[in-house]
Structure 1
Amino acid sequence: MSSLHIRALEPEDIPAVHVLYSQPTLQRNTLGLPYMPVSAWAEKVAAGPGKHLLVATLDGRLVGQISLLLEEHRPRRRHVGSLGMGVDETVHGQGIGTRLLGAALELADDWLGLTRLELSVYADNAAAIALYTRAGFEQEGRHRNFARREGVLVDALSMARIREG
């Protein structure tokens, strides 16, 4: 029986996070670039104020990562967090994204008191849009020509989850 575990990202996870985000599916569905060195990932995921980074491991292997970034440097947006996530393409459809997102939502709601969570998702990423919608996120807008992907400019959706509090 497989064992999925959600925990904080540790420095020794950085090489595995680099491998995760080097997968073609993740490069296609995130803002990552191919050929990024491990050192760039080390800098990107370095601990800092307002940065909450979680990973999912399946039988000890890192299979997902989610970032919850706070707006602590903007006093009028301290109630806001933004999310970014990636799940290993070999385990899509197994509920790992749902579990990672659930852990980030629990952290945001029950521990940090955030009332607004934001994210951007490519408009053609139907699986991610469905996941976020099931978690209470709503589409707020469309960013035309948001990012270049494989030589083509693609749109993204702006989604948010508002919790009264």
Structure 2
Amino acid sequence: MSDILIRAREPADLADMTELLNQPRAIWGTLQMPFVSLEARQKRAAAGSPGDLHLVAVIDGKVIGSASLNRFENRRVHAGSIGMAVHDAYAGRGAGTALMAGLVGQADNWLNLKRLELNVWSDNSRAIALYERFGFEREGLFRNYAWRDGAYADSVAMARLRP
């Protein structure tokens, strides 16, 4: 993990992120649509909420992972939702762990969030194991949650509560 740099996402990172999120395995693990253009990603990034945190994992100047923490408002100001993806060619090198450490550290030490939540495909055992290592627990199953790769797929709701 020592060769992975975690930092805030910059506008110049969107080309690498477009490549990352067009990888077959990376897109399979998210709710994103495949074949999204750089221009569409730029528009989406520009329209984002100012309270959101966007991190990237970088190896040798290339963005190989992406994660976000979206904070809720009003009566859910104590909570946030996370999502992440890692480039297919770099899976298993520690980028997911480094990104999770960055998100959880920011949530705990700077944002004072009590609850972090996420949804993960029920058949993505590698991601579930990562989230469990960071204290996330399964809270429920969403059956036929979304259409993915030609079939409906189930999703597991997970959350981490900070004492």
Same fold flag (TM > 0.5): yes
Q: CA deviation at 1:116?
A: 0.1
CA distance in 1: counterparts of 2:126 and 2:45, whole angstroms: 25
Mean Cα deviation higher: 120-129 or 85-94: 85-94
- Contact 1:6–1:54 (8 Å) recurs in 2: yes
Which segment drifts farther, 56-65 or 30-39? 30-39
Deviation track 1:13-70 (CA, whole Å, cap 9, x = no partner) reads 1111111000000111101112211122113333532211000101111110000000
Structure 1 equivalent of residue 131 of structure 2: 132
Q: Name the counterpart of 1:45.
A: 45
Task: Describe the SS at the equivalent of 2:50.
Answer: coil
3-state SS of 1:93 partner: coil
Corresponding residue for 1:87? 86
Residue 162 of structure 1, CA deviation: 0.3
Report if the CA contact (8 A) 1:45-1:53 is conserved: no
- Structure 1 regions of 5+ residues with no counterpart? none
Hey, what's the Cα distance between the residues in 1 that align with 2:71 and 2:55? 14
* AA aligned opposite 1:29: G
Instruction: Name the TM-score, length of structure 2 as normaliser.
Output: 0.95
Amino acid at match of 1:27: I
Indicate yes or no: 2:29 matched with 1:29: yes
SS in 2 for 1:140: strand
Number of residues paired by the alignment? 162
Separation of aligned partners in 1, 2:3 and 2:53: 23
Q: What do the CA deviations read for 1:103-125 (whole angstroms, capped 9, x no partner)?
A: 00000000000010000000000
Partner of 1:149: 148
| Paired residues for 1:68-79 under 5 Å | 68-72=69-73, 75-79=74-78
**Structure 1 residues 148-157 or 46-55, which shifts more?**
46-55
Residue deviations 1:83-131 (CA, integer Å, cap 9, x gap):
0000111111111100100000000000000010000000000000000
TM superposition shift of 1:3? 2.4
Check the 8 A contact 1:79/1:116 in 2, yes or no: yes
Aligned sequence identity (%): 45
TM-score normalised by L of structure 1: 0.94
* Contact 1:118-1:158 at 8 Å conserved across structures: yes
Moved over 6 A (4+): none
